[in-house]
Structure 1
Amino acid sequence: MTVAVDPAIQQKPLSVDEFLAHYGGDNRYELIDGEVFDLEPTGLHEEVAAFITKKICVQIDGAGLPWFVLQRGLLRPSNTGMTAFRPDIAVVDQGELAKEPLWSDQSILTLGTSIKFVAEVVSSNWQNDYARKLEDYAALGILEYWIADYAGLGGTRHIGKPKQPTLSICTLVDAEYEIQQFQDHQTIISSTFSDLKLTAEQVLRAGR
């Protein structure tokens, strides 16, 4: 079911509780600083997300790690009452869930320590992926963050000029992300999944 963002509701910033009451049952929306964003999951967007999910699930299973990929949950940073991210892909450490106060009843994470890896597939709201989420995921202590910009939508300051499909892999070092960009046939380097044997093109052109 798709729920349209109600302009009447968005006349004022929403709290997380208000967002959950109106949009919590729909995977299409997330809340950033009180504003509701439509994640715009196009077919190609979903193919890229599914490809990444498939490949990292193989790595998790092969290594016998107590991790899983979040399916429908939200990431609600504990230091804000007006933001609830819905990552395209988030790898959760099952051993950390006992520390999560909202997990059992609401499938909501609040602690960055519960998340081993996160990825966003870029849509027209690309500013959130390259700026706000980059800052917040780093502040939460999430060790690795992928920005899969399969359509080359990001600004030139992020992906260069001329713009082209780019996979940005952000690795946390001293509380800030160091960013490596991969394009075309370049082999990607992941600190979390070091055995991945993929090129940027394989990820960004998944299903095509």
Structure 2
Amino acid sequence: MTLATNPLIKPGRLSFDEFLACYGSDKRYELIDGEVFDLEPTGKHEEVAAFITTKACVEIDRLGLPWLVLQRGLFHPSDAGMSAFRPDIAIIDRTELSREPLWANQSILTRGTSIKFIAEVVSSNWQNDYARKLEDYAALGIQEYWILDYAGLGGIRYIGNPKKPTLSICTLVDREYDVEVLRGNQTITSLTFPDLNLTAAEILSAGQ
């Protein structure tokens, strides 16, 4: 949802500093090419994000990894200009945080090397998840990116026809994502968490 449908969003394009002043403390919004987007966190959206967060935390604890999970932390890559992403889920490498210039005072990430995994739960702004973020996260070197389209909102070119709930697992190969599209009882294969034993349906229905 953008300005046209949300009167709370200020008109015009914003710089990162302007966005931070207006929306920096509100995890509902992100900035893409100067345009403010409402992340539309419905109840089902939050259930899917929470399910993945829970599974990731269990694996991180079990394996004793120096990682943490952020939900809608602000990610402003140094070369992103007028963009500041809020991934629904980002798994962060604690050992990289000392290299993050804004982390200590503003909890803002700027480097792709700090992020091990990103997941986006699709809302009506599905073009951002399937196109813009796919390109930017790959360029930043993020090894694994999941697109969780629990309502089957994405374009036909991404999820097929007829549209169905779809999990797209994007794995970085030669700085581009190799995309595996999963539905129903198909079992996932995760580079970040190879021992996860889950199907696409379990994830997209938030374990129900």
Identify the residue that residue 45 of structure 1 maps to in structure 2: 45
Tell me the distance in 1 between the aligned counterparts of 2:91 and 2:172: 16
Tell me the distance in 1 between the aligned counterparts of 2:153 and 2:32: 20
Indicate yes or no: 2:113 matched with 1:107: no
Mapping 1:117-128, distance limit 5 Å = 117-128=117-128
Shift of 1:203: 0.2
Shift of 1:81: 2.2
Tell me the distance in 2 between the aligned counterparts of 1:82 and 1:43: 29
Tell me the distance in 1 between the aligned counterparts of 2:36 and 2:72: 17
Identify the residue that residue 3 of structure 2 maps to in structure 1: none
TM-score (norm 2): 0.95
Shift of 1:80: 2.2
Tell me the distance in 1 between the aligned counterparts of 2:132 and 2:75: 14
Mapping 1:122-201, distance limit 5 Å = 122-201=122-201
Q: Summarize deviations over 1:170-202 as a string: whole Å, max 9, x none.
A: 000000000001100000110110000000000
Shift of 1:71: 3.7
Identify the residue that residue 91 of structure 2 maps to in structure 1: 91
Tell me the distance in 2 between the aligned counterparts of 1:53 and 1:5: 31
Tell me the distance in 1 between the aligned counterparts of 2:72 and 2:32: 17
Shift of 1:44: 0.2
Tell me the distance in 2 between the aligned counterparts of 1:183 and 1:201: 6
2:89–2:120 CA contact under 8 A, matched in 1: yes
Q: Secondary structure at the match of 2:17?
A: helix
Q: Summarize deviations over 1:44-64 as a string: whole Å, max 9, x none.
A: 000000000000111111110
Instruction: Tell me: CA distance 1:14–1:138, structure 2 relative to 1, closer, same or farther (3 Å).
Output: same
Tell me the distance in 2 between the aligned counterparts of 1:26 and 1:143: 27
Q: Summarize deviations over 1:147-172 as a string: whole Å, max 9, x none.
A: 00000000000001111000000000
Q: Secondary structure at the match of 1:190?
A: coil
2:71–2:87 CA contact under 8 A, matched in 1: no
Residue identity matched to 1:75: F
Residue identity matched to 2:50: A
Provide structure 1 residue ranges, at least 5 long, that are not aligned to the other structure: none
Tell me the distance in 1 between the aligned counterparts of 2:139 and 2:194: 24
Identify the residue that residue 23 of structure 1 maps to in structure 2: 23
Mapping 1:55-74, distance limit 5 Å = 55-74=55-74
Identify the residue that residue 10 of structure 1 maps to in structure 2: 11
Q: Secondary structure at the match of 1:203?
A: helix
Identity between Structure 1 and Structure 2 (%): 71
2:150–2:205 CA contact under 8 A, matched in 1: yes
1:127–1:154 CA contact under 8 A, matched in 2: yes
TM-score (norm 1): 0.95
RMSD of the alignment, in Å?
1.1
Provide structure 2 residue ranges, at least 5 long, that are not aligned to the other structure: 1-5
